[in-house]
Amino acid sequence: MNREETISYMNNHGILPESKFGQNFLCDEEIIEAIVELCSATVDDKVLEIGPGIGALTREFRANDIDITAVEIDKRLAQYLSEEGFNIVVSDYTKLKAEDYEPSKYTVAVSNIPYYVMTPIMMKMMSDLTNCRKMTFMVEDAAIDRIDAKPGSKQYGPLAVMCSSYGDFEREFTVPSGCFVPAPHTTSAVITLTRRAGDTFVPDSAYAQFLTRCFANRRKKLTNGVPEAKEALGKLDIDSNIRAEQLTPEQFKALYAIINS
């Protein structure tokens, strides 16, 4: 849908965008097509979208005959999309239980993420969608510092380690605020995370919880909060006084493997 069609859909359905849900609807057809193309989904894939809104991306997937399911928190928007025949789960995604949406069946995922809840949504998608080969996200441009943060930096935390463990990060392109109705206050960017060929490590929810524990007291040494890491650090020849923010994603993986062996 272009800008006129988006505004007309909103007017016809009496939709006033809810800022509490981060509702900024994408209305630039070129960007919509570019995002769907980046997902590289085929008719054999099952796509999961978080936050379909009024269906900017969802419609484009359907136009390409791609099987898509979407999770939407806003009951009204979910109802309109359901009435149009879309497969919608009405829920706050951060609270959705795995048994209520079969996450392992999805092979591709996409979200124009509501910015107020970016980290929990990305963490949950990576933790739950264990068979997903590619994730495409629209995020606030400024948030990329946290997603692609490097060890030792202030921004480095569970989200950056999880993303790096999930796959290869790419910043694809910038999306100006004028491409949305209403326009957000910040510039956005589209990013992708792609699983590496042959990578057998799956960063699931247990791994996400482990990372959260590791970073709970980032200024203190890791073994204060995670005492079982002491022996594993020794085996890896890493100083037992190290802090979580100093460990690389590869070291986190190795540590986790030893602790759970």
Choices 38-46, 72-80, 192-200, 223-231 (CB under 6 A): range interacting with ligand SAM: 72-80
Instruction: Report the distance separating Cα 102 and Cα 27, nearest Å.
Output: 30
Of 191 and 244, the one with the shorter C-beta distance to ligand SAM is 191
Among 51, 103, 158, 167, binds ligand SAM (CB under 6 A): 51
Q: Which stretch binds ligand SAM (CB under 6 A): 70-78, 125-133, 222-230, 236-244?
A: 70-78
Secondary structure element (H or E) that encloses residue 109, with its range? strand 108-112
Task: Report the C-alpha gap between 74 and 58 in whole angstroms.
Answer: 15
Query: 44 in helix, strand or coil?
Result: coil
In the beta sheet, which residues pair with residue 87?
69
Select the residue interacting with ligand SAM from 24, 107, 165, 192 (CB under 6 A): 24
Per CB under 6 A, does 140 bind ligand SAM? no
Q: Which helix (H) or strand (E) holds 248?
A: none
Among residues 28, 67, 72, 148, which is the contact residue for ligand SAM, using CB under 6 A?
Answer: 72
CA distances from residue 86 to 67, 83, 94 in whole angstroms, order as listed:
10, 7, 21
Task: Quote the distance between the C-alpha of residue 198 and its chain's center.
Answer: 22
Q: What is residue 16's three-state secondary structure?
A: coil
**Site for ligand SAM (CB under 6 A): which residue of 23, 107, 127, 192?**
23
Residue 67 interacting with ligand SAM (CB under 6 A) = no
Contacts with ligand SAM, residue ranges (CB under 6 A): 21-26, 50-53, 56-57, 71-74, 77, 92-94, 112, 114, 117
